[in-house]
């Protein structure tokens, strides 16, 4: 991928933040900033890594009539991963932008489809080397189970548009399945459980497919002024390149702030179909060089 495409994606993320607040008078919007600490291990090679990443994310929902809605969301991430696992390679920065179409089948059940494009700039020995990108497209839905509980799911296919069988394949010709739920503990705090499983072909090399698992629990607690909330998450993820003895296990701890335009919160955005995208596609792509 050309650096101009990286710049374009960065600009798109900044533009998304601006339009979330001011354009089109959306139903609901948010912008957030978080830091994620990562403790990862490669049991096969006895390597480990302590580092992190900073992410800014944003989303907005527009309605067209009583039942049709469009959501635009995205994020931009900077990594701190120098010399992880004894490798010269590693992700430097990246991001994703997604478009969702949603339709309310009933007051409690919303279905839709999504398309997303993501990329990560990889570096070699401190220098830019090559960027990896991916696309996602698939189905999603939300079911409002009760006043306190909402369930959601996504099933997406993934492709690597720049796939080269002599290089890291990332999320080429794969899929991600995601299931989760949100629970309103009280008026200011909502909690969630998020489960993801994914596979891809030629993940690290052409003959080394990938399998991935990610399990997360988290939530947010609003300040007395509803629009601003503290966000938090703990997650466990595994990435496996079949045929290699260097699977990666990572534990992540995230803490951040999120501002909701219009006084909404986590529960309202999930119930309205604002699910984002499965993080596994982006994170699995970021880990691919470490299997080399």
Bridge partner residues of 215 (DSSP): 195, 236
- pLDDT of 11 reads 47
- Average pLDDT of the chain to the nearest whole number: 84
Contact 101, 112 (CB under 8 A): yes
List the one residue out of 270, 30, 29, 31 whose CA is nearest residue 153.
270
- 32-66 residue pLDDT tens: 999 999 888 876 666 677 788 999 999 999 998 88
Domain ranges of the chain: 3-291
Work out the pLDDT band at 85, boundaries 50, 70, 90: low
Contact predicate 226/258, CB 8 Å: no
Confidence of residue 92 (pLDDT cuts 50, 70, 90): confident
Greater model confidence, 166 or 283: 283
Between 1.10.540.10, 2.60.120.200, 3.40.50.2000, 2.40.160.40, what CATH number should domain 3-291 receive?
2.40.160.40
In 185-272, DSSP assigns E strands to: 189-200, 210-222, 228-241, 248-261
Q: Are 223 and 257 in contact (CB under 8 A)?
A: no
- In the predicted model, is pLDDT for residue 1 greater than 50? no
State the chain's maximal CA–CA distance in angstroms: 57
List all residues 6 or more positions away from 116 whose beta carbon is below 8 Å from its beta carbon.
Answer: 96, 97, 98, 99, 135, 136, 137, 156, 277, 281
Query: Does residue 112 contact residue 139 with C-beta atoms inside 8 Å?
Result: yes
Q: What integer is the mean pLDDT of 102-128?
A: 86
Digit-coded pLDDT (tens) for 13-34: 555 555 554 445 678 899 999 9
Write down the pTM of the prediction.
0.87
pLDDT category of residue 256 using cuts at 50, 70 and 90: very high
3-class secondary-structure state, position 22: helix
User: Using the 8-state DSSP alphabet, how is residue 34 labeled?
Assistant: E
Per-residue pLDDT band for 237 (boundaries 50, 70, 90) equals very high
């Amino acid at each position: 991928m050309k650096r101009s495409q990286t710049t374009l994606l960065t600009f798109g993320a900044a533009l998304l933040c601006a339009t979330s607040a001011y354009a089109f008078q959306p139903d609901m919007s948010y912008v957030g900033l978080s830091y994620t600490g990562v403790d990862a291990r490669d049991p096969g090679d006895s390597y480990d890594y302590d580092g992190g990443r900073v992410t800014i994310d944003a989303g907005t929902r527009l309605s067209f009539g009583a039942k049709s809605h469009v959501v635009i969301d995205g994020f931009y991430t900077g990594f701190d991963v120098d010399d992880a696992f004894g490798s010269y390679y590693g992700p430097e920065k990246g991001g994703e932008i997604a478009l969702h179409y949603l339709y309310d089948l009933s007051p409690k059940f919303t279905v839709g489809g999504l398309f997303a494009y993501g990329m990560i700039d990889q570096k070699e020995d401190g220098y830019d080397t090559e960027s990896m990108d991916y696309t996602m497209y698939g189905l999603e839905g939300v079911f409002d189970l009760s006043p306190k509980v909402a369930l959601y799911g996504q099933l997406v296919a993934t492709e690597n548009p720049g796939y080269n069988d002599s290089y890291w394949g990332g999320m080429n010709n794969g899929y991600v399945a995601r299931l989760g739920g949100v629970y309103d503990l009280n008026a200011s705090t909502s909690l969630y459980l998020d489960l993801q499983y994914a596979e891809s072909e030629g993940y690290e090399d052409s003959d080394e497919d990938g399998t991935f698992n990610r399990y997360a629990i988290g939530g947010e607690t609003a300040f007395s002024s509803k629009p601003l909330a503290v966000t938090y998450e703990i997650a466990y993820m595994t990435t496996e390149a079949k045929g290699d003895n260097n699977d990666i296990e990572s534990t992540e701890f995230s803490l951040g702030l999120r501002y909701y335009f219009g006084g909404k919160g986590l529960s309202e955005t999930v119930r309205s179909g604002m699910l984002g995208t499965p993080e596994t596609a982006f994170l699995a792509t970021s880990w691919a060089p470490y299997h080399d």
